[in-house]
């Protein structure tokens, strides 16, 4: 079999290039899933997956941790759930012992109950992921579009296999 290469692309070559340019400009690179990290200050803990932070983006605000769900400790209808106190205590110990807290705002989610959604980084460690890995959080609200979704799923499998926390 011979391959022939034509000199000059003619109209077909020009249309092909125009199609590629149009395709790339229309679809282009994906929208970011998270903002740049923002340094924040802990004001108070709400529960295992929500805390109040002083932020430059939102002022003082309760932030819901993206992708993870810890058991409730003071929910109006659910009350206190199994392992809620332990999850809240773990989150409190990590946040109060932090030298640096940063948040990446989850741009894939709308705020929940007027709480922006964020990935909390404590001294360079993803706290949301740590909560799952140590068995303090489930993935009830995780969606495929959320940042770090695959990491969270893998951490959940490990926590369950090792019978950590909620999976004990």
Catalytic residues: 64, 72, 115
Instruction: Please tell me the distance from the alpha carbon of residue 87 to that of residue 85, in angstroms, as a whole number.
Output: 6
For residue 79, which of 88, 68, 71, 87 has the smallest C-alpha distance?
Answer: 71
**Number of C-beta neighbours around residue 165 at 10 A:** 22
- Residues 112 and 32: their CA atoms lie apart, in Å, by 20
Q: Tell me the sheet residues that pair with 160.
A: none
Which residues, including other chains, have CB under 8 Å from residue 139's CB and lie 6 or more apart?
A: 67, 68, 69, 132, 152, 153, 156
| Angle 89-93-98 from CA coordinates, rounded to 5° | 150
Contact 125, 100 (CB under 8 A): no
């Amino acid at each position: 079999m011979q391959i022939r290469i034509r000199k000059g692309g003619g109209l077909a070559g020009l249309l092909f290039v125009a199609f590629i340019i149009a395709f790339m400009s229309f679809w282009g690179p994906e929208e970011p899933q998270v903002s740049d990290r923002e340094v924040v200050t802990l004001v108070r803990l709400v529960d295992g997956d929500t805390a109040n932070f002083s932020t430059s983006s939102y002022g003082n605000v309760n932030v819901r941790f993206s992708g993870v769900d810890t058991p409730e400790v003071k929910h109006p209808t659910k009350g206190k759930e199994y392992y809620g106190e332990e999850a809240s205590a773990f989150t409190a110990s990590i946040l109060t012992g932090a030298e640096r807290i940063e948040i990446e705002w989850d741009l894939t989610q709308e705020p929940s109950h007027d709480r922006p959604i964020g990935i909390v980084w404590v001294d360079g460690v993803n706290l949301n992921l740590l909560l799952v890995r140590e068995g303090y959080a489930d993935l009830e609200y995780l969606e495929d579009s959320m940042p770090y979704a695959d990491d969270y799923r893998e951490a959940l499998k490990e926590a369950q296999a090792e019978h950590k926390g909620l999976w004990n």
